[in-house]
């Protein structure tokens, strides 16, 4: 799966990828919901959620706002690659 140069604007969860075996997630702009400490949505805001993935490549992405920037759940840490990624809140 290839996701390149996409804009995710004011989403609770920008991208939730399940069971991908060769994800390339590069040069994306993820501006998720600007969480409020008093909101019940705090732990539901995320930029990228990888579930059950292998062989993923996450490079040159901009993550803005949200509480959870990157979540990796039940994924294999073999052949993964992370490089220049900007996180701002």
- pTM summary value: 0.80
| Cα–Cα separations (whole angstroms), residue 32 to 21, 25, 38, 77 | 25, 16, 17, 25
Contact 40, 4 (CB under 8 A): no
> Mean pLDDT over residues 10-36, rounded?
86
Using one digit for the tens of pLDDT, what is the confidence trace for 31-79?
A: 887 766 676 666 678 889 999 998 888 888 988 877 778 888 888 766 6
Domain ranges of the chain: 2-88
Greater confidence, 89 or 83? Answer: 83
The pLDDT value given to residue 41: 66
Question: CA 32 to CA 60: how far, in whole Å?
Answer: 17
Nearest to 28 by CA among 72, 62, 57: 62
């Amino acid at each position: 799966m290839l996701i390149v140069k996409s804009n995710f604007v004011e989403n609770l969860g920008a991208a939730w990828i399940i069971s991908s075996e060769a994800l390339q997630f590069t040069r994306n702009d993820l501006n998720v919901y600007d969480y409020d400490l008093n909101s019940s949505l705090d732990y539901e805001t995320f930029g990228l959620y990888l579930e059950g993935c292998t062989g993923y490549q996450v490079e040159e992405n901009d993550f803005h706002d949200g509480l959870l920037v990157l979540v990796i759940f039940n994924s294999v840490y073999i052949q993964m690659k992370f490089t220049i990624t900007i996180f701002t809140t």
